[in-house]
Every structure is written in structure tokens, then in C-alpha cells.
Amino acid sequence: MHAAVYRGLSVVSVEEVPTPGIGPGELLVRVEACGICNTDLKKIEYNLLEPPRIFGHETAGVVVASGAGVTQFRPGDRVVAFHHIPCLECFYCRRKVYAQCPVYKKVGITAGFEPAGGGFAQYVRVMDWIVERGVERIPDGVSFERATLVEPLNTCLKAVVQCDPQPEDFVLILGQGPIGLMFTMLVRRSGARVGVTDAIGPRLDLALRCGAEFAWNPGAIDVAAEVRRLTGGRGADLVIVAASAPGIVDQAMACSRPGSRILLFAQTSATERIETSGADVCVGERTLFGCYSASVDLQKESADLVFGGDLPLEELISHRLPLVKIRSGIDLALHPGPKSLKIIVQPQRWS
């Protein structure tokens, strides 16, 4: 089969590699679509993991073989698979902090080499504990491309549940890439007022269609002043940092009121550093917290939200590329243009 292999030094090479074999309790899935995620971009761009690896974890496809003992899935089933699933028994799982579970930290889908998701390949091996609890069927009529959004939507839904926005809240979302736009859709469902920021004009237009009441370019408008004007001089009740850029946490602080909550969602690299005023947190009684990855408790709900069609998720998909063009997709995701949002790789396409 063909796969996009990370070779180190930010190099990704489309190569011929062995199709993975499967064992008891496992599935072999033909990958029809896989989204390019910002966490994979960071791993490639900043060489955060040892090569060789095959990345890609927003994976949707068709079961082509099942191992001994698999009864819930069979060849021909259209599925989306999560690459992390917790044990549900350890210290962290009992406290529902699933992303810190040692089993969760193991990657359960591979296309070869050290397991890393494998979705940037034509076939993936889905391991037994993922098959048991981490695979969802895709209903007829739902595209594979839309189905790739189940995992990223789950991560956003997990964060929104943790933030618990209330109808009287003013919520500011910094960044309106695909993740920020998902936050906009989900927070709007809570009834809260939503303001958003982004430097790319078409994203602001889309944010308004996705439920934002206010959309600002922070390079052109004093966002903190606007938020204070709209909140009786106080500031935002909740700020979601859905982008990673120098100074963005300071911006979140400046836009928030005393006693507010500030969620860091995009700060996933160990190389990123944050400096902010201790008094803004302590004296201002702000809560600064993080949320990372998906929740198995929300797996079915996130799948239903994607498959149900109530959220305008198709508008997030801007590019569909064959595997051979993955490097251009990575470059576009790293340096987005006015019309680029979610980029989907289709490994079975050749042109």
C-alpha cells in the first residue's frame, strides 16, 4: 500500500509500505478520508517524535477484514475510529480524566512503524481495545469526509462541557480555524452570547453563519475594548483560546473579567511557553485551565452531532487532496490562506 511516512526533519514522503496485518480482536480498515490535524502538524513541523511514523488520526473508512473474535463489525461496514481509548479502570479513569490514563496515551491505530494514528495511509490496523470501545458506524448518506470530524468535534465538545457556558455568559473564542469554528457552533447551542476573533476575513464571515454574534479582526479592532463595551465594562465571562500565537494568552487575560475562566485548548506543544501576570490570575481570581483530546463518555454524542446534520460542518472542509499531494496540504494547513480551513486527505485517490 501507499502511505505518507514522516522521516524526520519535517520531511513527509509518500512511499510503498507493507499493508498491516491484524490479530485477534482487530480490524483492517481501508482509509477513505483522514483530516489533517494541528497536533500532527506540530509533530511534523517541530519534529516532536522520533521517525519513522505514519500520522493521521481523524480517520474514516471501510472495514475490509476482521480478526478472530470480532462480532460487532464485519467487512463492508463504514466506520470512524478513535485512536485513543482509556482503560476505564485506573486512577485517572475513575476521575474521568481520561487523557491522562496510561492506556489512553497508547495509540491504538497504526499503518506501520511506531503507532501514530496511521490515517495518512491506504489501510490501518485498529487494535483490539479500540475495536471494543472506540469505533462508530457511519450512517448511510453521511460522507467519509464529514465523518472525519467526529474525533475533533468530540475534543471541542469535551472542552465545552468542562467550561459549562451559561445562557447569560459572554464567551469570547480566539481563533476561527476549524477547531475555533466548532467551538462557535457548540457554545452557541448553550445560549451564551458569542464573540470571536481571527485575522482571516472569510473565517469571520463563516463564524457569523456558525452562530457568532460578533466577529472581529484583532489587528484592526481593540477587541478588549469592544468586549468591555458589550458587557457593562466587565469583560468576557469565558475565553476559549482556540489558536496558538505569541501573546494570545495575554489577549485572553485582557479581554476577560475578574473571576472569569480562560481555557487553553491549542497550546499542545511542550516547546510553547506562556508568560502572564500572576496578579491577573491571583488577585483577579481568574481560573486558567486546559482541556486536551477526546472523551469516551461523549463519543456517541459527538458522532450523533456530526451525523445528524444540524451543525454546518461541511462548510469547514475546504480541500480534498489525494495522498500524493499531502505535502501541499500540510503546507497549506501550516500557512492558511483566505479560503483554506479543514484539509482532508483521500488515500484511495490518485489525482
pTM: 0.97
119 and 53 housed in the same domain: yes
The per-residue pLDDT string of the chain (351 residues; one tens digit each, 9 = 90 and over) reads 999 999 999 999 999 999 999 999 999 999 999 999 999 999 999 998 999 999 999 999 999 999 999 999 999 999 999 999 999 999 999 999 999 999 999 999 999 999 999 999 999 999 999 999 999 999 999 999 999 999 999 999 999 999 999 999 999 999 999 999 999 999 999 999 999 999 999 999 999 999 999 999 999 999 999 999 999 999 999 999 999 999 999 999 999 999 999 999 999 888 888 889 999 999 999 999 999 999 999 999 999 999 999 999 999 999 999 999 999 999 999 999 999 999 999 999 988
Question: How would you classify the pairing of strands 78-81 and 135-137?
Answer: antiparallel
Whether residue 270 is contained in a domain is answered as: yes
User: Which helix (H) or strand (E) segment is 185 a member of?
Assistant: helix 178-189
Separation CA 152–CA 292 (nearest Å)? 11
Query: Is residue 301 one of the residues assigned to a domain?
Result: no
- 6 and 100 both lie in a single domain: yes
Residues 125 and 241 in one domain: no
Same domain, 268 and 195: yes
Q: Indicate whether 247 belongs to any domain.
A: yes
Which letter does DSSP use for residue 71 in this model?
-
Q: Same structural domain for residues 126 and 79? A: yes
Does 47 map to a domain?
Answer: yes
36 and 128 fall within a common domain: yes
- Please tell me whether residues 9 and 101 are part of one structural domain: yes
Nearest C-alpha neighbor of 252 from the set 270, 269, 265, 233? 265
Instruction: Give the phi and the psi of residue 208 in degrees, each rounded to 5.
Output: -65, -35
User: Does residue 274 form part of some domain?
Assistant: yes
304 belongs to a structural domain: no
Do 280 and 221 lie in a common domain?
A: yes
Asked if residue 100 and residue 36 are part of one domain, the reply reads yes
CATH of the domain at 271: 3.40.50.720
The continuous run of DSSP H or E covering 224 comes out as helix 223-230
Question: Domain total for the chain?
Answer: 2
With 0-12 / 13-18 / 19 or more C-beta atoms within 10 angstroms meaning exposed / middle / buried, residue 344 is buried
The answer to the question of residue 89 being in a domain is: yes
* pLDDT tens-place string over residues 33-55: 999 999 999 999 999 899 999 99
Same domain for 160 and 139? no
Domain of 49 in residue numbering reads as 2-148+312-346
pLDDT value at residue 271: 83
Any domain includes 351: no
96 and 24 in a common domain = yes
198 neighbors 217 (Cβ within 8 angstroms): yes
The whole-angstrom separation of Cα 135 and Cα 72 is 10
- Cβ neighbourhood burial of 38 (10 Å; 0-12, 13-18, 19+): buried
Which CATH number belongs to the domain containing residue 72 in this structure? 3.90.180.10
| Same-domain pairing of 256 and 328 | no
